[in-house]
A = this chain, B = another copy of it.
Amino acid sequence: MNSSPLAQIPAVETGIGISAVERDVGLGKDTLRVWERRYGFPTPLRDSFGERVYPAEQVAKLRLVKRLMDQGQRPGKLLGQSVAALNEQLGTPATTGDADATADWVVPLLKQRELDRLRGELSQRLAREGLQRFVIETVPALNRRIGDGWMSGEIEIFEEHLYTELIQNLLRASIHGLSSRGTTPRVLLTTIKDEEHQLGLLMVEALLAANGAACVSLGAQTPVGDIAGAARATGAEIVALSFSGACPWRKARDSLIELRAALPPAVALWAGGAGLAGRARKLAGVLTIEGLGDIAVTLADWRAGRTG
């Protein structure tokens, strides 16, 4: 196919087709075309047959937009802005940590499909740092590194899924290894509106388990109605919900209110995740958790209030 070194160079230099953009960025063909019509971006070139050819810079901007949309923003507001402005919005919210550079090692292992070595390396760090530090520091750093890798185009969506599966397996095994007999309190864990927020849920579960709680996770996307029933069935003393950044606040709030009404007053309701960051501090009967680091403290507080 590419035995002739000259044949494909122009195509590579000018850009990629609409299918490739769909695959690499994760925006549907229909969406890409309708954005072009409505918002005037992207503005792909055309090849000799009139088909769209997206230059690399436009693909990069599309990736930025997609990422901000995954955090709940809307395309109409984003597509008009400059790349610099978009980058700023993306840079501010996070810790902009320096620890991210330390996570560079995942990328080559993932790219070259050295999954066994990757798994080994992760296990080793987990053993060295302990579950709590691993979940609070290392995993978020890795997640950020993977996200950045996707942004720059060096990591494909499929590889991101692979990474997520790996981490999840590791955490599950680790949680499973902790003795859950006689531990207290019993915590029921779940999310309402999916996202691939499953990993976040698992991280919370790991922290709770590491601090001696007995967790029951329902997985993601549990209908609000079922949660109360499950809480009764498992005799949970705390119900904890996680909301991703993509979850619109109104829906989060409504779900929490509905669930609070359905739960017995004696059962505590905890809520956390990027979708609530800062906002709903004062919902009656709902305790908002600001970050992963707060989990251990909140649990200790609960115990103090319970026993005292």
A235 sits at the interface (CB 8 A): no
Shortest CB–CB separation between residue A223 and chain B, in angstroms? 7
CA of A88 to CA of B162, assembled, Å? 37
Residues in chain B near residue A162, CB distance under 8 A: 165
**Interface 1/0 per residue, A102-128 and B, CB below 8 Å:** 000000000000011000000000000
List 14 interface pairs A-B (beta carbons < 8 Å), by A numbering: A1-B223, A2-B223, A3-B223, A3-B224, A3-B225, A115-B165, A115-B169, A116-B169, A116-B172, A116-B173, A116-B176, A158-B161, A162-B165, A165-B165
CA distance A223 to B8 in the complex (A): 15
Q: For the complex, what is the distance from the CA of A281 to the CA of B110, rounded to whole Å?
A: 40
Within 8 A of B (CB), among A134-164: 158, 161-162
Chain B residues contacting A116 (CB-CB under 8 Å) are: 169, 172-173, 176
- Top-9 shortest CB links A-B: A3-B225, A115-B169, A116-B173, A116-B169, A116-B172, A2-B223, A1-B223, A3-B223, A162-B165
11 new A-B contacts at CB < 8 Å, known A1-B223, A2-B223, A165-B165: A3-B223, A3-B224, A3-B225, A115-B165, A115-B169, A116-B169, A116-B172, A116-B173, A116-B176, A158-B161, A162-B165
Q: Which residues of A contact B (CB under 8 A)?
A: 1-3, 115-116, 158, 161-162, 165, 169, 172-173, 176, 223-225
Contacts of A161 in B (CB 8 A): 158
Q: How many copies does the complex hold?
A: 2
Complex CA gap A158/B162 in Å reads 11
Smallest CB–CB gap between A110 and chain B, Å? 12
CB-CB under 8 A from A1, the residues of chain B are 223
Residues of B within 8 A of A176 (CB): 116
- Give min CB distance, A301 to chain B, whole Å: 33
Bound Cα distance A106, B226 (Å)? 29
Contacts of A169 on B, CB cut-off 8 Å?
115-116
Q: CA–CA, A223 to B2, complex, Å?
A: 8
User: From residue A50, how far is it (CB to closest CB) to chain B in Å?
Assistant: 17
A119's nearest neighbour on chain B, judged by CB, is B169
- Nearest-Cβ distance from residue A82 to partner chain B, whole angstroms: 33
CB distance from A121 to the nearest CB of B (A): 15
Residues on the B chain within 8 Å of A165, using CB: 115, 162, 165
Q: How far is the CB of A51 from chain B (nearest CB, A)?
A: 14
Least distance between A2 CB and chain B CB atoms (Å): 7
Determine how close the nearest CB of chain B comes to the CB of A169; give it in whole angstroms: 6
Query: Please, which residues of chain B bring their CB within 8 A of the CB of A225?
Result: 3
Cα(A223)–Cα(B3), bound, Å:
8
Q: Determine the distance from Cα of A162 to Cα of B2 in the docked complex, in whole angstroms.
A: 31
Chain B residue with Cβ nearest A115:
B169
